[in-house]
Amino acid sequence: MAVIRVGTSSWADRMLVRSGWYPRAVNTPAGRLGFYAERFGLVEVDTSYYAIPLPETAESWVAATPPGFTFDVKAFRLFTGHHTPIAALPRDRRPAGGGSRVRWRDLSAGAYDELWDRFHGALAPIAAAGRLGTVLLQFPPWLARGDAAKRRILAAARRCRPFRVGVELRHSSWFADDAMVDTVTFLREHGLGYVCVDMPQGHVSSVPPILVASTDLAVVRFHGHSAAWESGDKQEKFRYAYGAEELRRWSVLLRELADQCGELHVLMNNCCDDQAPGDAARLAELLGVEPAGRRVTTGS
């Protein structure tokens, strides 16, 4: 019997704020999160990918949401091998000299450890309140399948413990031919959640929407199917509206996935204007997930 939670990938995206989805009177970060939490019981923290939040910021998120509300937190991009602007690092941990961007290997061991400590410091208030769902490790499109890549995934995952970890892979080699079985087996053996995505197909970064649970918590992220996935800016890349029949079909598939796990997180990431919360609300209704953070269980 699975608990299903539905939400969006960010509540503070600038395009969402400008779209008019929030009433004019709801004009503070805490007010927006509180308004969002009246309508959904789950949200993905996207800002933590761009910079490590301060603990007091995380505390304010907890204060703005009701008991039972859940945060999935995306790991800081440096931790998953992305090229990271030096300006995204805390001022006292920015390396002197060099270029404008860094990789994790460009930092000293002590500096890298300190960044992970600060990330855990941001997670601590959320976890202490019982609001932390999973830490999302979103690896870059150039991380191709192989032993070195697996070691890299495990190294990052170990840094996240004792929290639950979800892994999103974005290179097609992890799913080519019989690789899918090996990929899911690898994640399952190490207690890592497989993050399924629905996204445009036909690119090197494309992965198929294979619905399978490798742990008791399954996560599905919806990116949409924009034709400008690799050529457009962020707005064009995620400009996609899921149709009524498409959402209906997904609701059936998601209920089947819910039979494989104890908890299912469904996140709309088609973050152009207010499309994500609109589609999330329609999908939640199809799944029987009630608003205001209430949950629904589904059995086989």
Per-block mean pLDDT, blocks of 10 residues, the chain (300 long)? 89 88 93 95 96 97 95 97 91 78 85 95 98 97 95 98 97 90 96 93 82 96 73 65 92 95 94 87 92 46
Contact 214, 192 (CB under 8 A): yes
pLDDT at 235: 65
- Architecture per CATH, 2-298: Alpha-Beta Barrel (3.20)
Strand locations in 99-189 (E): 101-102, 132-138, 165-168
pLDDT at 222: 93
pLDDT at 293: 44
Tokens standing for residue 205? 């970064």
Q: 197: part of which helix (H) or strand (E)?
A: strand 193-198
pLDDT at 236: 65
Environment class of 105 (CB within 10 Å of its CB; exposed 0-12, middle 13-18, buried 19+): exposed
pLDDT at 42: 97
Contact 5, 254 (CB under 8 A): no
Q: Model pTM greater than 0.85?
A: yes
